[in-house]
Amino acid sequence: MKKLFLLLVFLGSFARPQDRISGSNSVSRSVVLAQNGMACTSQPLATQAALDILKQGGSAIDAAIAANAVNSVVEPANCGIGGDLFAIVWDAKTKKLYGLNASGKSPKSLTLEAMKKMGHTKVPFFGPLAVSVPGCVDGWAELHGKFGKLPFEKLFDLAIGYAENGFPVTEIIAHEWKANADYFPENSDFERVFVKDGKTPAQGEVFKNQALANSMKQIAKGGRDAFYNGKIAKEIEVYMANNGGYLKASDLKEHRSEWVEPVSTNYRGYDLWELPPNGQGIAALQMLNILEEYDIKSMGYGSPEYLHLLIEAKKMAFEDRAKYYADPNFNKIPVEELISKEYAAKRRKLINPNKAAEEYAPGVLESGETIYLTVADKEGNMISLIQSLFNGFGSTVTPPKLGFPLQNRGELFTFEEGHFNKYEPGKRPFHTIIPAFVTKDGEPFMSYGVMGGAMQPQGHVQILINMVDFGMNIQEAGDVPRIRHSGSSQPTGSRMESGGIVNFEHGFEQETLRGLVQKGHFMKFSVGGFGGYQAIMYDSKNKVYHGASESRLDGQASGY
């Protein structure tokens, strides 16, 4: 064990970018600066699609929809019209934040009892039983209806073109495509759409998806109704019925996104805004509330003292996440109490600054694979948007006539009796994807997100602390090494054992890792799983947007 630890420390000591003549050596590139508009996405073609829309007079929200549509074509393992969507929008006209929950519900015809009779003890990870209603397209329609400027149909031109004529697959996406496809059965409809001649596309190979182009054309022309009330809904119902599924056209027809009020906490003068459950955004708020009373700045970035507190705060917040975060239409979620400073003060007392806890109980309350993008326009509107299929290629259930897989969000339900997140027909599952937004003194400061399952709230906290406490710029805050604690209790019913595991990237100092081991943390070096970060910060003094997109993905920040 000691030899393994020393080897990991040795490997970690070599991770750093080349020297730069200005600024910090821990960044991969300079911050992107622009005055008229900015787009930061996980794929350069999506970024350019957003800029094209902005230059045509579209709003930031128009541009985000166009970028997400392109993402759906060029990143099919991570997102698509078979998945869900969440967004936070800063509207410059009303000077207000708006939250959109565009997540779908479980099929009304599928019961818990039926799954138990099939021999299941939980919702299967893959396959038709994990499929819930895709909310993405309705989310696009709601965003456009409230904040759009250009015709809806115009937003899909590039996405349709890339699906029909092809696009060159980028490095990280090619890797994820192959890694996910290797797990799926041969000769399936998924393979017929996404695997050609027995192989997934390699980096630089041009990939086409005519079936997806046809689906996109229907949506562009017919709007949300083309998806939820038209041929697409009927095809989904027929395909599901023929392949052991329960999702029906009536489930899609009844679907509606929900406008919700974002919730926030203040951290050293900055207000971090998240969406309330069924997502996990408030975990970031809980963590910040716990950490705020510590002098993190004096501890220093990457110190064992700071990272220990970060890990312990995460463990506590995730115990509440496992118990309370669920569909608020089925339960009274005590959001206000969970994100209160008073509750954080009680929880903070449980942290031992010198020893890692093996377990925490959830608080006793008085009340009952993903893409992220952000866009800003010249009027000052900003959008923080995240969209996903959950697992790579979702459920892998892929109607070949439609050209896209359906998500497997239903896998995040539990069968546990009395649990807030227990499976029920017509219920939204617990969700991992969360957009974030930061304001300062009531004005927009930053729109950002960090992709990657349970990493997301941990990433939100680390990015904000990197900037607020450690003075990093928006690019450096995402480039420096991150940690990810895994093994916490989950909304699916699993429980934390032996305190979980701290996963770390290259770049942390030997003394940091040794200090965490001495405090009782189990350490593991990991490749991947630390999220993908994009952000836009607004400099109100100079009226300039600052854009960032980290090096962990194929992404690009660009403006004009």
For residue 505, which of 18, 12, 172 has the smallest C-alpha distance? 12
Long-range contacts (CB closer than 8 Å, 24 or more residues apart) made by 57-60: 57/149, 57/150, 58/148, 58/149, 58/150, 58/154, 58/155, 58/377, 59/147, 59/148, 59/149, 59/150, 59/377, 59/379, 59/381, 60/147, 60/375, 60/376, 60/377, 60/381, 60/382, 60/383
The answer to whether the beta carbons of residues 534 and 376 sit under 8 Å apart is no
Cβ atoms within 10 A of the Cβ of 544, count? 15
Name residue 171's amino acid: E
- What backbone phi and psi angles, to 5 degrees, belong to 488? -70, 165
DSSP-assigned letter for residue 139? H
Active site residue 370: yes
Cα-Cα-Cα-Cα dihedral sign, residues 317, 318, 319, 320? positive
> Where are the strands (E) in 492-555, listed by range?
501-504, 523-525, 533-539, 544-549
Per the residue annotation, which of 47, 265, 370, 374 is the catalytic one? 370
CA nearest to 370, candidates 456, 282, 462: 456
CA angle 102, 106, 108 (to 5 degrees): 125
User: Which positions are catalytic?
Assistant: 370
